[in-house]
């Protein structure tokens, strides 16, 4: 990723704490949209001042199309999109509010669509692109009380594959280009938020953000040019 323009969403979140330093270490030129200045400060606390100074932080709400369009227009181009943004809530379907359902689709699926849409425009102009989205184990293996989250993350898998895969009888989106799209399926990640109230002997078994970062960095690299439309489980031993 050396010298590549990377749009890294969710780079200040729990998974971002592992992914952002790894992407910076690759020599990439990184843009991170954010909403919470507190999370930017948290990231600042774990990376060197020199690396922190290399990141372009841009306030943006990725659920809003105009905001995403403006964000991408502020970058010279997008070579790599790493889309970590997402959110989680649970509840029994018959008790789950329609408002919460729409929120889950908004934060997980609609942000993925919007960032892919505007990044792809830039990638197609330049003939190069790497898209890495984040689904979840629940997207491939839906579970009780996770209907909205599972449906949204299944949508992320479908969207990513649709961008990457050959189409039947109509024009492919990325065939014969050096543009790839892949998604990863984490199970439970060892983030600060997940650790709250969890005994260490359980949390210690969760997959570390730094480990997931290695998978993401490979998919985002030149070396992964022949990996297209994959949904890669990163479950560790869970």
| Smallest gap from residue 98 Cβ to ligand NAP (A) | 19
| Smallest gap from residue 135 Cβ to ligand NAP (A) | 7
* Of residues 57, 55, 58, 2, the one with CA closest to residue 28: 2
Residues 115-174 that bind ligand NAP (CB under 6 A): 134, 136
194 binds ligand NAP (CB under 6 A): yes
Backbone φ and ψ for 81, nearest 5 degrees, come out as -110, 120
35 binds ligand NAP (CB under 6 A): yes
Choosing from 34, 113, 118, 128, the residue that interacts with ligand NAP (CB under 6 A) is 34
Backbone φ and ψ for 116, nearest 5 degrees, come out as -65, -45
Count Cα atoms within 13 angstroms, Cβ side, for 184: 28
- Contact range with ligand NAP by CB under 6 A, out of 54-62, 124-132, 162-170, 220-228: 54-62
Minimum CB distance to ligand NAP smaller for 36 or for 48: 36
Residues 86-105 that bind ligand NAP (CB under 6 A): 86-88
- How far, in Å, CA of 27 to CA of 54, rounded? 10
Cα-to-chain-centroid distance, residue 154: 14
* Of residues 14, 53, 65, 66, the one with CA closest to residue 36: 14
Site residues (CB under 6 A) for ligand NAP? 10, 12-16, 33-36, 39, 60-63, 84-88, 107, 111, 134, 136, 186, 188-189, 191, 193-194
């Amino acid at each position: 990723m050396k010298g590549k323009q990377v749009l890294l969403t969710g780079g200040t979140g729990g998974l971002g704490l592992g992914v952002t330093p790894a992407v910076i270490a690759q020599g990439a030129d990184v843009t991170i949209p954010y909403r919470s200045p507190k999370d930017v400060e948290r990231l600042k606390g774990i990376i060197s001042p020199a690396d922190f100074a290399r990141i372009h932080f841009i306030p943006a709400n990725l659920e809003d199309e105009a905001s995403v369009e403006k964000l991408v227009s502020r970058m010279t181009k997008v070579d790599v999109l790493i889309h970590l943004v997402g959110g989680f809530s649970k509840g029994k379907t018959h008790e789950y509010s329609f408002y919460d359902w729409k929120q889950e689709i908004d934060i997980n699926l609609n942000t993925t669509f919007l960032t892919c849409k505007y990044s792809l425009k830039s990638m197609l102009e330049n003939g190069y692109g790497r898209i890495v989205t984040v689904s979840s184990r629940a997207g491939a293996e839906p579970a009780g009380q996770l209907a909205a989250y599972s449906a949204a993350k299944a949508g992320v898998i479908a969207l990513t594959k649709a961008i990457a895969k050959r189409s039947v009888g109509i024009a492919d989106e990325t065939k014969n280009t050096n543009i790839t799209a892949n998604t990863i399926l984490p199970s439970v990640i060892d983030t600060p938020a997940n650790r709250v109230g969890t005994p260490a002997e359980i949390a210690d078994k969760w997959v570390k953000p730094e480990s997931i970062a290695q998978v993401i960095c490979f998919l985002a690299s030149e070396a992964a040019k022949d990996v297209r439309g994959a949904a890669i489980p990163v479950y560790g031993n869970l």
